[in-house]
Structure 1
Amino acid sequence: MEPDWEDQARTIIRVELVRARVNYKELAWRFEQMGIQETAANLSNKVARGRFSFAFFLQCMTAIGVTVVDINGAVSGAMLMKVPEGDNEGEV
């Protein structure tokens, strides 16, 4: 069975947001500090789709403050953390 790559990408970002206690509004502010204009709603939508560039993934990790990503740990850890969907732009 082939992994759902989009689901895994989405899950990794959500797990790291939860770990760092950063919501999409805060993430948008951090992007702004990096010179990148994104709204909280736009960030939430991009992550929810799971279809984004690796550059966007790196921007997210940098904004969150993540320097090392354990791909297997993040995906399997999400099952334990039960990462929320984050429909609201203020939530993760």
Structure 2
Amino acid sequence: MAKDDPINVEYELKAKNLLKAELKRRGITYVELAKKLQERGVSENERNLTNKISRGSFTTAFFLLCMDVIGANMLQLET
């Protein structure tokens, strides 16, 4: 699947919105997320996180890691 394939773009947007919503729901800033990731040995700063999440082109592993460090054990996916 090509990077600019509409279906890929659609699901990157969904992943980005899910991550941003979970951060907001928990009141976690990008600075706090960076600290939580650092505790797991992942070096990201606020600016890198802002850019990465804004693009929405992060890996599934990064998404799951973020969900884990912020304590998001369950997600409601829209159909």
Report TM bin, short chain.
0.7 to 0.9
Letter in 1 for 2:74: V
Q: How many residues align?
A: 73
- In the aligned structure 1, how far is the partner of 2:58 from the partner of 2:26? 21
Give every structure 1 segment of 4 or more consecutive aligned residues whose post-TM-superposition deviation is greater than 6 Å.
none
Counterpart of 1:72?
78
In structure 1, C-alpha distance between the alignment counterparts of 2:42 and 2:74, rounded to whole Å = 22
One-letter amino acid of the structure 2 residue matched with residue 63 of structure 1: V
2:33 to 19, 27, 33: 27
Unaligned runs of 5+ in 1: 74-92
Map of 1:30-45 to 2, 5 A cutoff? 30-45=36-51
- TM (normalized to structure 2)? 0.84
Q: Which residue of 1 aligns with 2:4?
A: none
CA deviation string 1:45-83 (max 9, x = no partner): 11100101100001110111101111218xxxxxxxxxx
Q: Distance in 1 between the 2:44 and 2:31 partners?
A: 10
Taking CA–CA contacts closer than 8 Å with sequence separation of 6 or more, which of the two structures ends up with the larger relative contact order? 1
Identity of aligned residues (%): 36
The gaps in structure 2 that reach 5 residues or longer are 1-6
